[in-house]
Amino acid sequence: MKKFLFVLMIALALAACAPTTSKEDSIIVGLECDYAPFNWTQLEATETSVRIEGNIGYCDGYDITVASTIATELGKTLIVKQIAWEGLEPALASGEIDMIVAGMTDTLERRQRVAFSVPYYASDMVMVVRKDSVFASATSLADFTGANVVAQRGTFHDGLVSQIPSVNHMTPLATFPLLVNAVMSLESDALVSENPVAISIVKNNPDLTIIRFTQANGFQTNFEDTTVSVALRQTDTELLESINAILSGISSEQRDTWMADAISRQPE
């Protein structure tokens, strides 16, 4: 019994001496860790990944590079929390996380609830289909007339589907792996995606291909629609100002390099 108490006292002493990260010294980011190449989950630790709190895995991707840069510039330790897309804004509002860096688009509707930074990436909207599909040679939205098209739930991508003539707008799905499965299994003819994510999808699914459009023949979007920004609480004005200054100092060339690196290192 005495031996047990002695061991317990040693363990408690070591725990007390262990380094801790206070709330003031850290910044907590929330993201899905399931939206490659912006973010994904992996089991191995790498130079670019960050351990997911409460999880045996690590999160990596373009969003993690951006979040890590923000944390470093702020002099804070980055803590990553994996949260489903629908839970990100509630987690921010409750104080569970400090910022959302998850490929989130600044929209008028969301702006009523959160504050957005300046954009940290801009992209084009494309569609992904099977290579053996009748839509594989499509060059315009009109070519998808009558097609079964799906997009991610809770994103502006889903709102774009209605621009396709006589489209069968399928029930949106929660994650991109589910979208990919819908196309692969022939439940859907096509899915709507940002170009970097589409590149990631076809890299790991060689039976799929990307349909890109000219500006006149593709989705009609605003600049804000095709950019992604950091989301913060509306009361965190000083943090927003600091993050905007950090993002403004990152060149477009550096951002493109980060995205290319993320696409090249994402797991299969």
* Average pLDDT over the chain, rounded to an integer: 91
Query: What's residue 268's pLDDT?
Result: 77
pLDDT tier, 39 (very low <50, low <70, confident <90, very high otherwise): very high
Upper half-sphere CA count for residue 73 (Cβ side, 13 Å):
17
- Residues 78, 41 share a domain: yes
pLDDT band at 245 (very low <50, low <70, confident <90, very high): very high
Domain-embedded: residue 65:
yes
Q: Mean pLDDT throughout 98-112? A: 95
> Does the pLDDT value for residue 16 go beyond 70?
no
Note whether 118 and 139 are same-domain residues: no
Measuring CA to CA, which residue among 30, 179, 197, 194 is closest to residue 102? 30
- What pLDDT is recorded for position 6? 39
pLDDT score recorded for residue 4: 36
3 is a domain residue: no
Choice among 28-32, 34-38, 134-138 with the minimum mean pLDDT: 34-38
Q: Do residue 173 and residue 184 come from a single domain? A: yes
Return the percentage of the chain with pLDDT > 90, whole number: 83
The answer to whether residue 183 sits within a structural domain is yes
Q: Is residue 13 part of a domain?
A: no
- Which pLDDT band, with edges at 50, 70 and 90, does 223 fall under? confident
- Answer whether residue 53 shows pLDDT above 90: yes
pLDDT at position 12: 37
Residue 217 covered by a domain: no
Question: Does a structural domain hold residue 218?
Answer: no
Whether 197 and 75 share a structural domain: no
Give the model's confidence band at 20: pLDDT under 50 very low, under 70 low, under 90 confident, else very high. Answer: very low
Residues 188 and 146 in one domain: yes
Mean pLDDT of 22-31: 89
Residues 183 and 186: their CA atoms lie apart, in Å, by 5
Q: Quick one: 229 and 116 in the same domain?
A: yes
CATH (domain of 168): 3.40.190.10
Are 133 and 51 in the same domain?
A: no
Say if residue 31 is in the same domain as residue 108. yes
**CA 200/CA 36 separation, integer angstroms:** 6
Query: Span 211-225, mean pLDDT?
Result: 91
Task: Return the pLDDT at 13.
Answer: 40
- Is cis: bond before 172, omega within 30 of 0? no
Give 127-178 pLDDT, tens digit per residue. Answer: 999 999 999 999 999 999 999 999 999 999 999 999 999 999 999 999 999 9
Task: Specify the pLDDT at position 224.
Answer: 79
Please tell me the pTM assigned to this model: 0.76
Q: Is residue 37 part of a domain?
A: yes
How many structural domains does the chain have? 2
Share of the chain above pLDDT 70, in %: 91
The verdict on residue 150 lying in a domain is yes
- Same structural domain for residues 100 and 166? no
Q: What is the mean pLDDT of residues 4-9?
A: 37
**Mean pLDDT across 101-108:** 93
By residue range, what is the domain housing residue 177? 125-211
CA distance 51 to 60: 9
Q: Are residues 131 and 199 in the same domain?
A: yes
CA distance 57 to 44: 7
Q: Write the DSSP assignment of 178-238 as a string of letters.
A: HHHHHHHTTS-SEEEEEHHHHHHHHHH-TTEEEE---TTTS----GGGGEEEEEE-TT-HH
* pLDDT average, residue stretch 105-127: 94
In this structure, are residues 130 and 207 in contact, taking their beta carbons and an 8 Å threshold?
A: yes
- Give residue 22's pLDDT band: very low, low, confident or very high (50, 70, 90): low
Residue 254 sits at the vertex; the CA angle it makes with 250 and 257, to the nearest 5 degrees, is: 150
What's the full length of the chain, in residues? 268
pLDDT of residue 24: 80
Q: Are residues 231 and 186 in the same domain?
A: no
Residue 150 sits in the same domain as residue 135: yes
Say if residue 17's pLDDT is above 60. no
